[in-house]
Protein backbone atom coordinates (compact mmCIF):
# COMPACT_ATOMS: atom_id res chain seq x y z
CA UNK A 1 0.00 0.00 0.00
CA UNK A 2 1.13 3.53 -0.63
CA UNK A 3 0.66 5.82 2.34
CA UNK A 4 1.02 9.62 2.23
CA UNK A 5 1.86 11.46 5.44
CA UNK A 6 1.24 15.20 5.84
CA UNK A 7 4.46 16.29 7.53
CA UNK A 8 6.68 19.34 7.69
CA UNK A 9 9.78 17.39 8.72
CA UNK A 10 9.45 13.78 7.54
CA UNK A 11 9.41 12.56 11.13
CA UNK A 12 6.04 13.54 12.60
CA UNK A 13 2.54 13.74 11.19
CA UNK A 14 2.01 17.39 12.00
CA UNK A 15 0.08 19.02 9.18
CA UNK A 16 -3.52 19.77 8.24
CA UNK A 17 -4.26 18.18 4.85
CA UNK A 18 -5.15 21.44 3.11
CA UNK A 19 -2.24 23.38 4.59
CA UNK A 20 0.48 20.79 4.12
CA UNK A 21 3.27 21.90 1.81
CA UNK A 22 4.65 18.38 1.46
CA UNK A 23 3.68 14.75 1.83
CA UNK A 24 5.98 11.81 2.48
CA UNK A 25 4.91 8.83 0.37
CA UNK A 26 5.79 5.40 1.78
CA UNK A 27 5.22 1.93 0.42
CA UNK A 28 4.04 -0.15 3.36
CA UNK A 29 3.66 -3.92 3.47
CA UNK A 30 2.89 -6.27 6.33
CA UNK A 31 6.57 -6.39 7.37
CA UNK A 32 8.25 -3.69 5.30
CA UNK A 33 8.17 0.02 4.66
CA UNK A 34 10.22 2.35 2.54
CA UNK A 35 10.09 6.01 1.62
CA UNK A 36 9.24 6.32 -2.06
CA UNK A 37 9.43 10.10 -2.38
CA UNK A 38 8.70 13.47 -0.89
CA UNK A 39 5.84 15.21 -2.69
CA UNK A 40 5.98 18.99 -2.97
CA UNK A 41 2.47 20.39 -2.77
CA UNK A 42 3.37 24.03 -2.24
CA UNK A 43 2.44 25.37 -5.71
CA UNK A 44 -1.26 25.50 -4.94
CA UNK A 45 -3.65 27.59 -7.02
CA UNK A 46 -6.09 30.20 -5.73
CA UNK A 47 -9.61 29.18 -4.83
CA UNK A 48 -10.65 26.58 -2.28
CA UNK A 49 -11.94 23.92 -4.70
CA UNK A 50 -8.95 24.33 -7.04
CA UNK A 51 -6.59 24.09 -4.07
CA UNK A 52 -8.23 20.87 -2.85
CA UNK A 53 -8.18 19.32 -6.33
CA UNK A 54 -4.48 20.22 -6.60
CA UNK A 55 -3.64 18.71 -3.18
CA UNK A 56 -5.54 15.52 -3.99
CA UNK A 57 -3.79 15.32 -7.36
CA UNK A 58 -0.37 15.48 -5.71
CA UNK A 59 -1.09 12.35 -3.66
CA UNK A 60 -2.96 10.37 -6.32
CA UNK A 61 -0.52 7.45 -5.89
CA UNK A 62 -1.58 7.03 -2.25
CA UNK A 63 -4.09 4.52 -0.96
CA UNK A 64 -4.23 6.14 2.49
CA UNK A 65 -3.35 9.67 3.64
CA UNK A 66 -2.51 10.51 7.25
CA UNK A 67 -2.90 14.06 8.57
CA UNK A 68 -3.76 15.88 11.81
CA UNK A 69 -6.90 17.53 10.43
CA UNK A 70 -9.02 17.52 7.30
CA UNK A 71 -12.21 19.41 6.57
CA UNK A 72 -15.45 17.63 5.64
CA UNK A 73 -15.41 18.81 2.01
CA UNK A 74 -11.78 17.74 1.54
CA UNK A 75 -12.50 14.41 3.23
CA UNK A 76 -15.37 13.68 0.82
CA UNK A 77 -13.29 14.76 -2.19
CA UNK A 78 -10.25 12.69 -1.22
CA UNK A 79 -12.40 9.61 -0.64
CA UNK A 80 -14.07 10.10 -4.03
CA UNK A 81 -10.56 10.10 -5.53
CA UNK A 82 -9.90 6.67 -3.99
CA UNK A 83 -7.70 7.78 -1.08
CA UNK A 84 -8.72 6.94 2.50
CA UNK A 85 -8.04 9.82 4.93
CA UNK A 86 -6.88 9.06 8.47
CA UNK A 87 -6.67 11.67 11.22
CA UNK A 88 -4.11 11.20 13.98
CA UNK A 89 -2.97 13.18 17.01
CA UNK A 90 -0.58 16.05 16.34
CA UNK A 91 3.06 14.89 16.20
CA UNK A 92 2.45 11.15 16.08
CA UNK A 93 5.56 9.88 14.34
CA UNK A 94 5.41 8.42 10.86
CA UNK A 95 7.36 5.43 12.16
CA UNK A 96 4.77 4.77 14.91
CA UNK A 97 1.87 5.17 12.46
CA UNK A 98 3.45 2.61 10.12
CA UNK A 99 3.99 0.14 12.99
CA UNK A 100 0.36 0.58 14.14
CA UNK A 101 -0.87 0.01 10.58
CA UNK A 102 1.25 -3.13 10.24
CA UNK A 103 0.01 -4.37 13.63
CA UNK A 104 -3.59 -3.86 12.47
CA UNK A 105 -2.83 -5.85 9.31
CA UNK A 106 -1.36 -8.71 11.37
CA UNK A 107 -4.07 -8.81 14.00
CA UNK A 108 -7.64 -8.26 12.83
CA UNK A 109 -7.74 -5.62 10.10
CA UNK A 110 -10.79 -3.42 9.82
CA UNK A 111 -12.78 -4.05 6.62
CA UNK A 112 -11.68 -0.70 5.10
CA UNK A 113 -8.00 -1.57 5.67
CA UNK A 114 -8.35 -5.08 4.30
CA UNK A 115 -10.09 -3.73 1.18
CA UNK A 116 -7.29 -1.18 0.60
CA UNK A 117 -4.57 -3.78 1.25
CA UNK A 118 -6.04 -6.26 -1.24
CA UNK A 119 -6.55 -3.54 -3.85
CA UNK A 120 -2.90 -2.50 -3.49
CA UNK A 121 -1.70 -6.12 -3.63
CA UNK A 122 -3.68 -6.74 -6.84
CA UNK A 123 -2.24 -3.57 -8.38
CA UNK A 124 1.35 -4.64 -7.69
CA UNK A 125 0.83 -8.24 -8.89
pTM of the model: 0.94
77-94 mean pLDDT = 95
Residue 37's beta-bridge partner residues? 25
CA–CA gap between residue 70 and residue 72 (Å, rounded):
7
**CATH class held by domain 2-124:** alpha beta
Give the pLDDT score at 46: 85
Give the pLDDT score at 102: 95
Give the pLDDT score at 48: 83
Residues 6+ apart with CB under 8 A from 74: 17, 18, 52, 55, 56, 85
Give the pLDDT score at 36: 97
Q: What is the dihedral of CA 123, 80, 109, 101, to 10 degrees?
A: 80
pLDDT tens column, 48-64: 888 899 999 999 999 99
Per-residue pLDDT at 124 exceeds 80 = no
CA–CA gap between residue 54 and residue 56 (Å, rounded):
5
Cα dist. 50→17, 24, 56 in Å? 14, 22, 10
Q: Say if CB 78 and CB 3 are below 8 A apart.
A: no
Residue 5's beta-bridge partner residues? 24, 66
Residues above pLDDT 70, as percent of the chain: 100
pLDDT tens column, 96-119: 999 999 999 998 888 999 999 989
How do the domains of the chain map onto residue ranges? 2-124
CA–CA gap between residue 37 and residue 83 (Å, rounded):
17
Amino acid sequence: MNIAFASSDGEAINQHFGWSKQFYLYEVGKDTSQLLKVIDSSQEPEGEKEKLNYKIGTIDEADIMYCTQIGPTASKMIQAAGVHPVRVAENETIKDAIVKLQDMLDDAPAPWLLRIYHKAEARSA
